């Protein structure tokens, strides 16, 4: 099986115990990977694959460079390291 | 005074006097700049119940202490007035490069008062400030007039200009700059048009005094570096705000057919990669921007260049009017830019008219023969021009959807998608209570930029109507408008995740005044309460009723998409307001209490 690395940005790291990257298999669909990591798909604003925005139904290929980008400071998603993390979901 | 030019210009357009007054250090201390200066000036200078389109209203132009400095995104300037669209407080922030020249000319604000008997523009070159005849430019579109003024004065002058929509007093006319940047919302352009002020042209060559230049440079470099290292940069630089179009549809937040739905079946034609690969020609950033989200585009179908469309414009000249052809959206964007219309309100009003037409409330007899069905791009193009010229049905729609609903009658007010008279911006919120509350309580009417809380709904649970939702809205209503006081763009924080902890220290290096982030938030809270008091004073009977959304929110469930069937019952709307008012220290009708005003140092300013 060929592995593909996905980079988690910002608060999405919290779904991988703080790790920046996770590994998936070529042939998997992004939404399956999100499901395995228990990341709610609505939290992922943009999926970037090799510098291009793709949908969550994109099927991973060998050599893909993938960034999963959340929506950040507009609403809830302060990084927890920030002193400005004030309100967590109840 | 470090961080400030030290001079405020007062321009009386009636008698053509121009005065230079020193900037009050107390004003800078308590209100920072930008929106803060504007709110204070409007509250203290506009006579109670003044006509927004009359000589007593003020138009205020104000950068902040970060504007024009090498801080990420410090390219913002505020335009403010009593709104002709709502009758209440209005400010709108504009990007581009205008604010830099404005600051280098040495000014902290311009206060326009009166009405000129004939069209004029304000010329500023450092100490030289003159009102000049603008007859030759009157009637020209924003892009055309800006080009002509630059041809006359030189490229180094930066121009803020209004178009025919403002001249014709369309209630949602914008102020335009740099061929596609606008102060768009709540009719600040209309006020400029009412004063017969066609443009402001400014060039400056001075410097801005900084308390500790070495520390400033170090802080600013760290901020730029953090932006450059952000993983979000790739997304936002490539697609700008259109990067979220796909997501907005996935979560059922994309306004579709006058907010009947939150997911548009043709949205795949509007998403980031299609936009970038089909029409974008180059990136276009504002002053001192590390993450240029502006996109300059070309439509071969219509043979026009346009900046955009942005996400909000795709929402309102696309999904909300049922149009999924990106080049048609771009062309409508171009038309609004040239005529000088806010694309959010213009699209929202057209969508309202389309729903009225499809529901039989208006017919071709009312629309000058236009078949105003959703998806009819040609009808939209025609209607934009009719609104700008106030021709036929355009004369009614030029007043905004609230006023138009009063004309069209029947139940149309239920789906005139506005709050306080300002058309709702681009997030369907029947399954996003915090976002709905943000719209209900926004201090210029229903605009997203004061509290883009939908992300919090998604993280915290979209069905929850809990205290933390109100708390988050309040928190954001203090953070986000603070950027409009500082004169900086909030998108480095929103899009790149730039830590808010940078801002108080860098402000200290500029002004020399030691203030914590909490101190700055307190200033923002003071301003929020002052703008609320402005509404209370200016609008007879102002209170809870004015915070209600249109009845569609509780009467009609979302049609189709991932949020199908969702609505917010009226008692939940009231619950949101109850929680919000209590947490704000306001009474049950949404009026700031004496205790709250005293806490914020506003007791002497606000009349009982």
What ipTM score was computed for the predicted complex, to two decimals? Answer: 0.88
pLDDT the model gives residue B608 = 63
Note whether B246 contacts A53, CB cutoff 8 Å.
Answer: yes
Cβ–Cβ below 8 Å for B273 and A77: no
Interface membership of B460 toward A (CB under 8 Å): yes
Q: Could you tell me the sign of the dihedral formed by the alpha carbons of B402, B406, B409, B413, in that order? A: positive
Token digits of residue B463: 């069905």
How distant, in Å, are the alpha carbons of B90, B440, B527, B574 from that of B544? 19, 10, 20, 9
**What are the C-alpha distances in Å from B66 to residues B222, B379, B525, B570?**
16, 43, 19, 42
Decide if A77 touches B, using CB distance below 8 A: yes
The encoded tokens of residue B52 equal 């927004």
Expressed in angstroms, the distance from the first to the final Cα of chain A is 41
Chain A interface mutation, best of B251, B459, B469, B494, highest count of A Cβ atoms under 10 Å: B459
* B307 Cα to chain A: minimum distance (Å): 21
pLDDT-derived band at B479 (thresholds 50, 70, 90) equals very high
pLDDT per residue over A52-63, tens digit each? 999 999 999 999
Greater confidence, A88 or B297?
Answer: B297
Q: Alpha-carbon torsion B551, B554, B558, B559, what sign? A: negative
Cβ pair A89:B461 closer than 8 A: yes
* Local structure of A82: helix, strand or coil: coil
State the pLDDT at residue B105: 98
Q: How far B563 CA lies from chain A's nearest CA (Å)? A: 12
Q: How many CB atoms lie within 10 A of CB B81?
A: 28
Residue A50 in contact with partner chain B when CB distance is under 8 A: no
**What would the pLDDT profile of B251-297 be if each residue is shown by its tens digit?**
999 999 999 999 999 999 999 999 999 999 999 999 999 999 999 99
Quickly state the pLDDT bin for A20 (edges 50, 70, 90).
confident
More confident residue, B494 or B359: B359
Give the pLDDT of residue B219: 96
SS3 B14: coil
With an 8 Å Cβ cutoff, is A76 touching chain B?
Answer: yes
Q: CB distance from A14 to chain B under 8 Å?
A: no
* Alpha-carbon gap, residue B528 to B481, rounded angstroms: 9
| Contact call for B468 and A10, based on CB within 8 A | no
Phi, psi (deg, nearest 5) at residue B293: -95, -10
The verdict on a CB contact (< 8 Å) between B472 and A76 is yes
Q: Does residue B309 have a cis bond before it (omega within 30 degrees)?
A: yes
| Alpha carbon of A27: minimum distance to chain B alpha carbons (Å) | 22
Asked if B493 is an interface residue toward chain A (Cβ–Cβ < 8 A), one would say yes
Please tell me the pTM assigned to this model. Answer: 0.96
Output the six-digit token pair for B179.
Answer: 């061929």
Find the length of chain A.
90
- Mean pLDDT check: name the lowest of A13-22, B268-277, B312-321, B464-473: A13-22
Query: B475 and A86 in contact by Cβ < 8 A?
Result: yes
Rounded average pLDDT over B524-546: 98
Comparing B175 with A79, which gets the higher pLDDT?
B175
User: In the prediction, which pLDDT does B583 show?
Assistant: 98
CA distances from B76 to B58, B66, B73, B243, B470 (A): 20, 9, 8, 22, 28
Q: What is the mean pLDDT of residues B191-196?
A: 98
Q: How confident is the model at residue B388 (pLDDT cuts 50, 70, 90)?
A: very high
Residue B343, SS3? helix
Q: In terms of pLDDT, which residue wins out, A70 or B424?
A: B424
At residue B11, what are phi and psi to the nearest 5 degrees? -115, 115
Question: Residue for token digits 């300002």?
Answer: B422
A89 contact B CB<8A? yes
Q: How many CB atoms lie within 10 A of CB B586?
A: 20
Q: What is the pLDDT of residue A85?
A: 34
Residues B79-102: pLDDT tens digits?
999 999 999 999 999 999 999 999
Dump pLDDT digits (tens) for B158-191: 999 999 999 999 999 999 999 999 999 999 999 9
Exposed e or buried b per residue across B18-43, where buried means at least 16 C-beta atoms within 10 angstroms of its C-beta: eeeeebeeebbebbbbbbbbbbbbbb
Whole-number average pLDDT of chain B? 97
For B128, B147, B163, B347, the CA distances from B382, given in Å and listed in that order, are 42, 25, 17, 13
CA dihedral A17, A23, A28, A31 (to 10 degrees): 30
Among B239, B455, B501, select the one facing A71 at the smallest CB separation.
B455
CA dihedral angle for residue B277, residue B283, residue B284, residue B285, rounded to 10 degrees: 130
Order of strands, sheet of B59-63, starting from the edge strand that comes earlier in the sequence: B17-22, B7-12, B107-113, B59-63, B77-82, B89-94
The neighbouring-strand residues paired with B125 are B128, B203
Q: How many CB atoms lie within 10 A of CB B282?
A: 10
The residue of chain B nearest to residue A55, with distances taken between CA atoms, is B246
Residues linked to residue B61 through DSSP beta bridges, in sequence order: B79, B110
The residue among A38, A45, A90 with the most chain B CBs within 10 A of its CB, best to mutate, is A45
Whether residue B17 has pLDDT greater than 80: yes
Q: How far apart are CA B363 and CA B360, in angstroms?
A: 6
Q: Is B487 helix (H, G, I), strand (E, B) or coil?
A: coil
Nearest CA to B524 among B186, B32, B93, B28?
A: B32
pLDDT tens-digit readout, B356-384: 999 999 999 999 999 999 999 999 999 99
How large is the average pLDDT for residues B203-231? 96
- Count the neighbouring beta carbons within 10 Å of the beta carbon of residue B92: 26
What pLDDT score was predicted for residue A86?
Answer: 34
**Calpha distance B122→B379 (Å, rounded):** 37
């Amino acid at each position: 099986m060929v592995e593909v690395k996905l980079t988690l940005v910002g608060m999405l790291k919290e779904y991988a115990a703080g790790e920046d990257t996770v590994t998936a298999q070529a042939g998997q669909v992004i939404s399956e990977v999100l499901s395995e990591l228990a990341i709610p798909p609505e939290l992922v604003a943009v999926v970037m694959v090799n510098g291009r925005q793709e949908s969550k139904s994109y099927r991973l290929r060998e050599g893909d460079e993938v960034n999963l980008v959340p929506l950040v400071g507009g609403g809830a998603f302060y990084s927890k390291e920030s002193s400005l993390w004030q309100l967590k979901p109840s | 005074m470090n961080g400030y030019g030290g001079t405020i210009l007062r321009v009386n357009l009636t008698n053509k006097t121009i005065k230079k007054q020193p900037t009050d250090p107390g004003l800078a201390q308590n209100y920072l700049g930008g929106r803060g200066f504007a709110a204070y000036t409007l509250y203290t200078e506009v006579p109670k119940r003044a006509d927004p389109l009359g000589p007593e209203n003020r138009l205020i132009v104000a950068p902040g202490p970060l504007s024009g400095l090498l801080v990420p995104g410090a390219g913002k300037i505020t335009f403010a007035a009593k709104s002709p669209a709502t009758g209440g407080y209005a400010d709108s922030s504009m990007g581009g490069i205008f604010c830099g020249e404005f600051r280098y000319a040495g000014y902290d604000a311009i206060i326009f008062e009166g009405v000129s008997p004939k069209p004029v523009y304000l010329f500023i070159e450092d100490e030289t400030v003159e009102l000049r005849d603008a007859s030759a430019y009157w009637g020209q579109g924003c892009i055309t007039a800006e080009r002509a003024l630059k041809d006359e004065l030189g490229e180094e002058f930066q121009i803020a200009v209004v178009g025919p929509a403002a001249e014709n007093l369309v209630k949602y006319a914008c102020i335009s700059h740099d061929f596609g940047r606008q102060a768009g919302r709540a009719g600040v352009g209309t006020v400029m048009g009412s004063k017969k002020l066609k443009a402001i042209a400014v060039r400056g060559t001075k410097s801005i005094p900084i308390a500790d230049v070495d520390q400033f440079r170090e802080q600013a470099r760290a901020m730029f570096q953090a932006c450059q290292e952000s993983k979000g940069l790739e997304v936002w630089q490539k697609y700008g705000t259109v990067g979220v179009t796909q997501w907005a549809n996935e979560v059922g937040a994309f306004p579709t057919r006058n907010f009947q739905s939150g997911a548009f079946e043709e949205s795949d034609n509007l998403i980031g990669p299609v936009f970038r690969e089909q029409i974008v020609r180059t990136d276009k950033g504002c002053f001192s921007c590390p993450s240029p989200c502006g996109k300059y585009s070309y439509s071969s179908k219509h043979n026009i260049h346009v900046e955009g469309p942005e996400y909000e414009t795709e929402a309102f000249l696309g999904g909300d009017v049922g149009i999924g052809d990106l080049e048609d959206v771009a062309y409508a964007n171009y038309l609004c830019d040239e005529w000088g219309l806010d694309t959010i309100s213009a699209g929202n009003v057209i969508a309202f008219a389309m729903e009225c037409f499809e529901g039989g409330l208006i017919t071709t007899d009312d629309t000058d023969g236009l078949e105003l069905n959703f998806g009819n791009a040609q009808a939209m193009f025609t209607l934009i021009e009719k609104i700008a010229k106030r021709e036929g049905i355009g004369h009614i729609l030029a007043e905004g959807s609230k006023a138009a609903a009063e004309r069209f009658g029947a139940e149309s007010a239920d789906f005139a998608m506005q709050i306080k008279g300002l058309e709702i911006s681009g997030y369907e919120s029947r399954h996003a209570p915090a976002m709905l509350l943000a719209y209900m309580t926004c201090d210029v009417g229903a605009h997203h930029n004061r509290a883009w809380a939908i992300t919090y709904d998604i993280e915290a649970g979209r069905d929850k109507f809990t205290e933390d939702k109100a708390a988050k809205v309040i928190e954001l209503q203090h953070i986000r408008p603070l950027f409009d006081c500082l004169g900086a763009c909030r998108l480095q924080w929103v899009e790149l995740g730039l830590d808010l902890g940078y801002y108080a220290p860098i402000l200290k290096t500029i002004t020399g005044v030691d203030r914590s982030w909490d101190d700055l938030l307190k200033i923002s809270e003071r301003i929020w309460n002052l703008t609320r008091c402005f509404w209370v004073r200016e609008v007879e009977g102002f209170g809870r009723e004015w915070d209600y959304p249109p009845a569609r929110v509780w009467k009609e469930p979302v049609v189709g998409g991932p949020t199908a069937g969702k609505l917010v019952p009226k008692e939940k709307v009231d619950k949101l307001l109850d929680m919000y008012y209590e947490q704000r220290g306001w009474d049950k009708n949404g009026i700031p209490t004496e205790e709250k005003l005293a806490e914020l140092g506003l007791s002497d300013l606000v009349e009982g």
